[in-house]
Amino acid sequence: MRRRSRRGQGIAEAVTAAIILVPIALCLFDFLVVVIVNSMNDTACKNACRAAANQPGGTEAMAAATKSLMSVHSPFLSSIEIEECTYDGPATVLVKTRAVMNLPVPFPGYQTLTFIAQDVEPIVGTTPPP
């Protein structure tokens, strides 16, 4: 009597495990990239707001905030831009950024995601009123 080979059963188990584990791994990779891009947007917004707060006027603040965003690069980030830059006299400056990312493993209906970050900093680029 011949014994059956167990090699075929091992291959079937490996294929079944791969069918389950590969989509889970791809979802985890997407989630990791989403967290990283969201953190990049928050950091870029904070840096843009700090750059704007060091300027003496509203137009200089917008130019400084825009310039600070030019250093943000990522293969998953399709665009990052300033949505709002409010220079509120001698008190504070508000900067709001919008980042659009492409998912590395797109799912139906979720190919791009948009993140919005907002930061407020006290203005330090002017002398205080007497």
49-107 pLDDT, tens digit per residue, is 999 999 988 899 999 999 999 989 989 999 999 999 999 878 899 999 999 999 999 88
**pLDDT score of 3:** 63
Position 118 pLDDT exceeds 60: yes
The order of strands in the sheet holding 110-122 is 77-88, 92-107, 110-122
| Tokens encoding 17 | 């495990």
Task: Please report the beta strands in the chain, taking only residues with DSSP state E, as ranges in sequence order.
Answer: 77-88, 92-107, 110-122
Cα 128 to chain centroid, rounded:
35
Q: What is the mean pLDDT of residues 108-118?
A: 92
**pLDDT score of 88:** 86
The pTM is what? 0.82
Distance CA 57, CA 39 (A): 28
Q: What is the percent of the chain where pLDDT is above 70?
A: 90
pLDDT digits (tens, 9 = 90+) for 19-40: 999 999 999 999 999 999 999 9
Residues 6+ apart with CB under 8 A from 115: 37, 38, 41, 98, 99, 100, 101
Residue 38's Cβ-count burial label (10 Å; 0-12, 13-18, 19+) is middle
What are the extents of the domains in the chain? Answer: 8-122
